[in-house]
Amino acid sequence: MAQFHKARFAPGTVVRHRRFGYRGLIYDVDAVYSQSPEWYDIMASSHPPKDRPWYHVLVDGETHTTYVAEDNLEVCSETEAFDHPLLSRLFVAQGSGDFASRHIVN
């Protein structure tokens, strides 16, 4: 039986990418890596573990999303307004940087 690690972050958590420095908002969590081997080879240059949680992240001030290994994220305590075109579809802002998901995700 496969061993799963408990995710440190939940949807609605504002995070910062440790390597690239961008601020993001988690909108979904995968218990383990779930993209293609080709994507991993091209995009995951630091080769983070595939057997730990990975996160789908809205990127603040951009229009794209990212897929990030847990090892590359840390909690971000900044409370500035978050800007992403999908924000209002996925979350309800609850003041000072707190977000509640509009949808149940896996």
55 near 25, Cβ under 8 Å?
Answer: no
* Predicted structure pTM score: 0.89
In degrees and rounded to multiples of 5, residue 45 shows phi and psi of: -65, -25
Q: What is the pLDDT of residues 18-54, one digit of tens each?
A: 999 999 999 999 999 999 999 999 998 889 999 999 9
What pLDDT was estimated at residue 98?
Answer: 78
